[in-house]
Amino acid sequence: MLSQLEDLGVFPKIGICIVLVTFSIFFSKYAVIRPWFKLVKKTKNEWDDMLVVPISNRLYSFVLVGGTNLSVVWIDTQNSVLETLMPFFSAIYIIISASIASVTIAHLVPVVMDRFTDKSNVTVSGSNPLLTFVFRAVIWFGAIYLALSEIGIELMGLLASLAVFSLIIGLAVQQTLGNIVNSFMLAIDRPFEVGDRIEVDGMLGSVASVGILSTKILTREEKLVVIPNNTLVQTTVINHARGGGDGIARRLSIILDIGVDYNESIDHVKYTLLDIARHCPQALQHPPPRVLLLELGDYAKTFRVFVWIDDYTDEFIAKDWLLKSIDERFEDEGIIIPYPTAIELQSAPSFVEEEKSPRAKEQKAMRKASRQRISRIQMGKEEKKLREERENAKAELELIKNRLKDPELTGKDRKALESDARELDNLLSVFDYDDD
């Protein structure tokens, strides 16, 4: 049977090879690729699902090239064509293998980096793109060097001949090369991520994309601003999405300064503002809202309200709710916000106004005095509770610091204690506002 196949002509052999290569591709698809795809679908990991399609396409290419190589070996009995094509087949094998390794690294490195990232700190989501780029660049450089060597081209000599030309081009595109290099610096430092809200040279917006030459941010006015990477490296970047602690990357503190009349009770105003802040739908319970007397100004007592929200995208909604509620509640409580007024003198006020106005004022003053007494009592309880929480936090933090000095402490327990210490530090930093 084999001898009969060997005696066939060139065209029958070509036909048989086409049939066999086609069969091999279908066999790979239904006997290898599909069972593998069903297997990875059962796992919880997502990276292996994403690897199926790119690796499958490269395996098809490998089967096609391998089938073509074997076909040439069988058809060319004199090895005249094979000797010419064999280096090219070897180069193609190297390139396909490098492509499989490259796409595997592109999906595996992010998984490995995320697994070894400390989740107790504020971290940028995703993996380091520079590390992936370096690994893939090394693989492709080695593969191209070996592939060119197989077909008789010395890569090092080619690069040496291009060195002078590359120097001239480098000087011409120095600014562009600086942007490219600084894009790698940004990838290493990772001061922001796509979606973060940053401020650069007075421009505030969300990061839309980070490119190799520039970074694009979308401002509140829906304007797309393109910032060269050189500018980002050389100027101060304020990241409003990385201000939180304990792994809460998007947390934001809202600060409002409210001025009231000098005749108002401090406890009454503080308790009213504190009660409003606690009922804000976007406000966090930890750290809790705080209200402090900030300044005794020329015309008003100024109070500062601190409210923390879990997502900076809710900033304007929370501010709108707080200002609206403060205005309505101050009116109910009789708390006056001073503003410039004009007084019109009347020569002869009516008897009704003289009779009703003092009585209405007296009733309003009595209601306000009652609310001030209640607020004074409630504010005293709040300040006592705050002092107790602060002392307990200090004692617990000191205890954790002593436990961290234990050399026999396991790594897992040490990380848990360090996370608790950071949380207590953040809590005490909130309490420290009261010292100011």
How do strand 301-309 and strand 252-260 relate by DSSP bridges? Answer: antiparallel
Fold of 172-239: SH3 type barrels. (2.30.30)
Q: Are 289 and 276 in contact (CB under 8 A)?
A: no
Q: Two tokens at 246?
A: 């304990």
**Which residues are CB-neighbours of 219 under 8 A, at least 6 positions away?**
203, 204, 205, 225
pLDDT per residue as tens digits for the range 66-122? 888 888 777 766 666 667 778 888 888 888 888 888 888 887 777 776 665 544 443
Query: Measured between alpha carbons, how far is 324 from 422 in angstroms, rounded to an integer?
Result: 35
Task: Identify the sign of the CA torsion 330, 331, 335, 339.
Answer: positive
Strands (E), 211-311: 214-219, 224-228, 237-239, 252-260, 290-296, 301-309
Q: How many CB atoms lie within 10 A of CB 127?
A: 19
pTM for the model: 0.46
CB of 372 closer than 8 Å to CB of 294: no
Residue 294 has phi, psi (to 5 degrees) of -90, -45
* Rounded mean pLDDT, 371-397: 76
Specify the fold of 252-341+357-434: Alpha-Beta Plaits (3.30.70)
* Structure-block tokens of residue 42: 């059962």
In this predicted model, what pLDDT tens digit does every residue of 64-74 receive, in sequence order? Answer: 888 888 887 77
What is the pLDDT at residue 345?
A: 56
Domain boundaries, the chain: 2-169, 172-239, 252-341+357-434
pLDDT in tens, 307-316: 988 877 788 8
Integer Cα distance of 212 and 228 in angstroms:
9
Q: 248-273 pLDDT, tens per residue?
A: 556 778 899 999 999 888 888 999 99
- The amino acid that residue 247 corresponds to is G
CA 214, CA 208: separation in Å to the nearest integer? 11
Cα 146 from chain centroid (whole Å): 39
Residue 168 has a pLDDT of: 59
Question: Which has the closest alpha carbon to 200: 230, 174, 221?
Answer: 230
E-strand ranges in 103-228 read 197-200, 203-210, 214-219, 224-228
φ and ψ at residue 142, rounded to 5 degrees: -65, -40
Distance CA 220, CA 224 (A): 10
